[in-house]
Amino acid sequence: MISRRFEWAEPERLAGQIGDYLSHEARSVDVRGIAAEVAERGDAALLDLTAKFDAPEAESLNLRVGQDDALAALGNLAPQVRSALETAIANVRAVAAAQLGPGEKAVTLPEGHTVTVGEVPVGAAGIYAPGGRASYPSTVVMGCVTARVAGVDRVVLVAPPGPDGSIDPTTLAAAALCEVDEIYAVGGAQAIFALARGTETIRPVDVIAGPGNAWVQAAKREVFGEVAIDSLAGPSDLTVVVDSATNLHWAALDLCAQAEHGEESPLVAIATEPGVIERLEAEVDAVAADNPTVKDCHLALVEAPSAADAIELVNLIAPEHLELMSEGSAALAGAVRTAGCVFTGEETGTAFGDYVAGSNHVLPTDGTGRIFGPLSPATFRRATARVSLDAESARKLAGPLDALARAEGLPVHGLSATARANDPDQETE
């Protein structure tokens, strides 16, 4: 064991000193070579790398392990280890189920101990409001209000300045209404790195949220793990599902409104009946011709055999915004699994969600709706757990713990539990 003593200092500085001492070079390992090899050679690369790093003595390797192998291993498991696993499974399931509901909950487990689960807000959040083609005071609202509701103490806004070096006045006014604590006139990747790692002027934050261009998203990928991020949000996209009963002029307006965000915004229209796509395309061309703010975006037009097929395609696309403008949209919405936000019915244009409907317009893009959801208070909160054992519950759990620890080759874990269970000074109340 290598140890080092630290003199007490201002807590933030002391935490930094301890972090520097405990940091490990493995955190900066470059795995791009492995990524390239797996991308190029697939399974063959996995087998070769496994043989090289993990199983150099194996005569043959298989990637897929059959369920029969797992069941055979279960049949050969030592009874005390199986019992320990079953105890762990039951307790973890009970605690996980309690975390599905709101608020703090204390779960009492069969051994008599309690695990209290809940959430607490992070200490500081950084909100990125884009600039450039347009100002986005609405993004200030979406990010800063949500962070405040989550209970964040320090809310920081960054936004790129205009040519004169100042932030758009409406954006600043929105920041004042949202009671933002700190505002900085900086944008792009440099703003993300400043929020994550700090500078002389900007103290680092715990969570970074907000949409941005490709530079902003690349920077968010780079700092993920040093800080939390909301999602990879930008460029914005829209998919609409229409049929012969749809007001296609409204659908065209919604697609063209999305195109105002810039040429990078992907647009998809899916029709569930013949002849609709051609009419919609004509409507889009007409709206775009009359409105110079509409950019030349890529619009994909698809005719699906049925509404069910359309939804299957939607779930594969995982759009940021999805408008269900066909008949039976409410029923179709229940089958959508990956969209960032679903707008049901003809009256429900995406623009309402962008500004005033109350839903959050900071949404996962580029297909990442499969793994991310909309910005919400949960983005700025983290789960917590407090475990409390008494002497009796420690005795009941020590045996299963010791069996599992020894099965994993970590006997001192078991000793730390059995020492408590065997302590004659710890009497059961």
Active site residues: 320-321
Rounded Cα distance between 316 and 242, Å, is: 18
Which amino acid is present at 279? R
Rounded Cα distance between 364 and 374, Å, is: 7
In order, the DSSP letters of 218-248 are HHHHHHBTTBEE-----S--EEEEE-TTS-H
Q: How far is CA 296 from CA 106, 248, 369, in A?
A: 55, 19, 25
Q: Are 386 and 116 in contact (CB under 8 A)?
A: yes
The vertex-229 CA angle with 30 and 352, nearest 5°, equals 140
Q: Are 406 and 151 in contact (CB under 8 A)?
A: no
C-alpha radius of gyration, the chain, whole number: 27
Rounded Cα distance between 24 and 207, Å, is: 23
Q: Are 154 and 170 in contact (CB under 8 A)?
A: no
Q: Are 145 and 174 in contact (CB under 8 A)?
A: no
Give residue for tokens 């940091």: 23
Which amino acid is present at 56? P
CA pseudo-torsion sign 318, 323, 325, 327: positive
Find, among 314, 140, 175, the residue nearest to 241 by Cα. Answer: 314
The CB-side HSE value for 208 (13 A sphere, CA atoms) comes to 34
